[in-house]
Chain A
Amino acid sequence: DIVMTQSPDSLAVSLGERATINCKSSQSVLYSSNNRNYLAWYQQKPGQPPKLLLYWASTRESGVPDRFSGSGSGTDFTLTISSLQADDVAVYYCQQYYTTLWTFGQGTKVEIK
């Protein structure tokens, strides 16, 4: 199975500042035939199911604010919140769907400093 490792486990960022979350996969999730990275990012607030933010590593889901962006390729990926808002306090997960056995990262908790 592909192991997804996020860093840090938690971070505290001031309102309006940038938040950066990293996700590393134990093997590449880049499919060479279509040049797509099979990686998604989700946001989960307390007591709620997760919400899809990005797929194909950098494609924003409809309705997701443009302060959320994704980058990276192969095994190393980043989720960036360009200007943290109070509503962004949540746990963020990456997920690979490159193999038939999907796996999530352990999650990164984002708080306000």
Chain B
Amino acid sequence: QVQLVESGGGLVKPGGSLRLSCAASGFTLSDYYMSWVRQAPGKGLEWISYIRSSGDDIFYADSVKGRFTISRDSAKNSLYLQMNSLRGEDTAVYYCARTMLRAPGTIDYWGQGTLVTVSS
């Protein structure tokens, strides 16, 4: 059974850093494109980053490029998001997500999300 469990969210001051983790089970994470999607309180979905199965191709939304870094650890079957220079507008629930093999880019499994609050 596929499961994605995020952790690492919390309250951080503007300019601070946070590292989110996503533990995957029921599949081999490195076989899939893996993504982070966020949702600000009461707002819509915003894709922010993904890493292809090759591990060599990584993409970021303009809103986080240069501040956030996605990575994975195959041995731990886990995905990470290092978030630096955090701003108030980064406050959101962050979802770890897996894309389909037959339709890369289509998200077939989502975690429950972890809340990041950026506030002084």
Contact = CB atoms under 8 A, between A and B. Distances in A.
Given A61-B108, A97-B106, A49 B113 contact: yes
Contact of B47 (A38, A56, A104, A106): A104
Contacts of B99: 97
A104 B46 contact: yes
Contacts of A98: 105
Contacts, number: 62
Interface band, chain A: 20 to 34
A97 B37 CA distance: 13
A97 B46 CA distance: 13
A101 B46 CA distance: 11
A47 B113 CA distance: 10
Contacts of B95: 49-50
A48 B107 CA distance: 15
Interface in A64-113: 91, 93, 95, 97-98, 100-107
A52 interface: yes
Interface residues on B, range: 20 to 34
A100 B49 CA distance: 10
Interface string A1-23: 10000000000000000000000
Contact of B44 (A1, A56, A97, A104): A104
Contact of B62 (A1, A50, A105): A1
A101 B59 contact: yes
Nearest to A102: B47
Contact of B100 (A51, A55, A105): A55
A55 B103 contact: yes
Interface in A26-47: 38, 40, 42, 44
Given A44-B45, A97-B104, 7 more contacts: A40-B107, A49-B95, A55-B106, A59-B103, A95-B106, A98-B105, A103-B47
Interface of B: 35, 44-47, 50, 57, 59, 61-62, 95, 99-100, 103-108, 110-113
